[in-house]
Amino acid sequence: EVIRVRKLVVRLARPPADSTTDGSISGRVVFSDRTGAPGAMVWVRSAASAYPRVYGDREGYRAISDDEGRFHIGELERGPYDVSAYLQGRAPARLVDVRAPSKNVVLELGKGARLIGRVSDRAGSPIPSFTVDLRWRKGRLETLEYAQASFVDPQGRFEMDGLAAGEYALRVSAVGYAPAQQFLSVAEGAKEIRADVSL
């Protein structure tokens, strides 16, 4: 019996220059003094203005800025995208309808407002350990994760920095208690917002 062995070679070609997936979005995340913001999370999603048309993955694409605040997200479908940058303790930066491909996109993080509050039970006694989940209300039915943190404080106090102007849903939970939720509105230029929560 004779066994013949043949070699199969598969060559992968680069997509043509006019491909619909050769777009990319790159640029920098900066602070208000224009210095680079390292470690910021950049989120690129199909532009809301294009709905119901969706460009690329419905969940979007993420990248972390480097030591100089630079980021690059490649192989995007050509079209419009909403681009956001997040960094703990800073107000997010957002640009809408950024068309891929785009270079030199600049996302400037703001200082934002400070959220302070106190968590207590129905009798008014402080709850010393709890979790705060803050979500940005993009629309009446859509919210996006903004910040989440756990706190341990004998007086039930908490603080969160970097709230940009907008509408938020605040949810507080603690072991042994039913969660509580309330809505917040942060005005442009606000320095401090207070939200006391009873579980």
Task: Tell me the residue type at 190.
Answer: A
Q: Tell me how many helices (H) and strands (E) the chain has.
A: 0, 15
CB 178 within 8 A of CB 199: yes
Average pLDDT, the chain: 88
Where does residue 117 rank: exposed (0-12), middle (13-18), buried (19+ CB within 10 A)?
Answer: buried
Q: Provide the pLDDT confidence category of residue 11 given band limits of 50, 70 and 90.
A: low
| Residue from 36, 151, 44, 149 nearest 95 by CA | 44
pLDDT digits (tens, 9 = 90+) for 59-100: 999 999 999 999 999 989 999 999 999 888 888 888 999 999
d(CA 107, CA 78): 20
pLDDT digits (tens, 9 = 90+) for 16-71: 544 555 789 999 999 989 999 999 999 999 998 998 999 999 999 999 999 999 99
d(CA 48, CA 149): 28
